């Protein structure tokens, strides 16, 4: 794909994100499971982006939280609304996250928060950008000066004890912990140096696909909780951070995790 097509895809994501401001779509809410919301916004953005991508890139598959997934070697990976509960509660911390997986790696990613217009864009080997400003390597701060985000997962309450035991151990050593509740944004914020680490017991590929490219381009590390390379076709445990914080989080997880 050429640069012009990437620009078209960035504009497509921004275009589709405007559906979050459609009151009728936002108020059409159903449940996929316990504490697992889906809105008409999620469905509309997913179908809209899928349709447009099929025109722009007809030979590339499509994988989305709200679609029947095509596990082709080359595919787009979309989370139409990462932070649906935030959307339902008008918390204004949600994002549209789109990644291109070229069969081996994430080659391109865009994450957009339509509320504050934060736009993250990255191309493999060409750096990562926030609002058109190139991000430098994320600062590897001393632990006592670090903010750490963790995902508890409202639909994964079977991991409550484990997740909060780890969070307690992390909190006792770092400056503070956060709960943005949009994994894509939180991981991108680690790459941008606004946070220093992130961990979650179980999240889906569309939650982290685009964001992992920002980590790579900004000198951060990520893996599953066993230290294995992140996969893009199935749910995974997830941990990331600047080098010091990644190593710290892995040591805490190793001590307190009940196995993955």
Count of alpha carbons within 13 angstroms of residue 115, beta-carbon side: 12
103, 110, 137, 172: CA torsion to nearest 10: -100
Confidence grade of residue 32 (pLDDT, cut at 50, 70, 90): low
Please, which residues bridge with residue 32 across strands?
Answer: none
- Provide the pLDDT for residue 69: 72
Q: Confirm if 248 and 221 have CB atoms less than 8 A apart.
A: no
The span from the CA of 224 to the CA of 13, in Å, is: 28
Distance CA 51, CA 115 (A): 24
Task: Report the pLDDT value the prediction gives residue 260, as an integer from 0 to 100.
Answer: 67
Average pLDDT of span 16-33 = 87
Average pLDDT score over residue span 106-119? 97
Inter-CA distances, 12 with 9, 16, 52, 215, Å: 5, 6, 8, 23
Q: In this predicted model, what pLDDT tens digit does every residue of 173-214 receive, in sequence order?
A: 999 999 998 999 999 999 999 999 999 999 999 999 999 999
pTM for this one? 0.93
Cα separations in angstroms, 102 against 47, 59, 108, 124, 161: 22, 12, 9, 11, 37
Q: What was the pLDDT predicted at 156?
A: 72
Please say if the pLDDT value at position 59 is more than 70.
yes
Is-contact 44 84, C-beta < 8 A? Answer: no
Return residue ranges of the chain for CATH 3.40.190.80. Answer: 143-256
Percent of the chain having pLDDT more than 70? 94
> Does the CA dihedral 228-233-236-241 come out positive or negative?
positive
Quote the tokens at residue 105. Answer: 């790696």
**Start and end residues for every CATH 3.30.540.10 domain found in the chain:** 3-134
Residue 96 pLDDT more than 70? yes
Is the domain defined by 3-134 classed in CATH 3.40.50.970? no
Least confident of 71-80, 109-118, 140-149, 246-255: 71-80
Per-residue confidence (pLDDT) for residue 1, from 0 to 100: 43
- pLDDT band, residue 137 (cuts 50/70/90): very high
Band (31; pLDDT cuts 50, 70, 90): confident
Helix (H, G, I), strand (E, B) or coil at 74: coil
CATH topology (fold) of 143-256:
D-Maltodextrin-Binding Protein; domain 2 (3.40.190)
> What mean pLDDT value characterizes the chain?
92
d(CA 42, CA 258): 33
């Amino acid at each position: 794909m050429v640069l012009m097509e990437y620009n078209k895809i960035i504009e497509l994501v921004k275009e589709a994100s405007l559906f979050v401001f459609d009151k009728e779509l936002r108020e059409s809410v159903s449940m996929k499971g316990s504490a697992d919301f889906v809105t008409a916004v999620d469905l509309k953005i997913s179908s809209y982006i899928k349709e447009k991508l099929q025109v722009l890139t007809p030979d590339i598959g499509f994988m989305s939280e709200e679609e029947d997934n095509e596990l082709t070697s080359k595919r787009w990976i979309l989370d139409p609304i990462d932070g649906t509960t935030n959307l339902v509660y008008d918390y204004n911390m949600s994002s549209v996250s789109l990644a291109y997986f070229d069969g081996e790696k994430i080659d391109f990613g865009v994450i957009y928060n339509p509320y504050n217009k934060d736009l993250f864009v990255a191309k493999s080997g060409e750096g990562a950008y926030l609002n058109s400003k190139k991000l430098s390597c994320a600062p590897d701060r001393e632990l006592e000066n670090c903010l750490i985000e963790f995902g508890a997962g409202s639909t994964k309450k079977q991991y409550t004890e484990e997740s909060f035991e780890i969070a307690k151990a992390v909190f006792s050593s770092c400056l503070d912990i956060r709960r943005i509740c949009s994994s894509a944004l939180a991981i991108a914020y680690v790459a941008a140096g606004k946070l220093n680490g992130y961990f979650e017991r179980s999240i889906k590929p569309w939650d982290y696909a685009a964001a992992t490219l920002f980590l790579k381009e900004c000198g951060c590390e990520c893996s599953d909780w066993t230290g294995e390379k992140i996969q893009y076709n199935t749910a995974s445990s997830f941990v990331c951070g600047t080098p010091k914080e990644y190593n710290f989080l892995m040591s805490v997880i190793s001590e307190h995790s009940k196995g993955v």
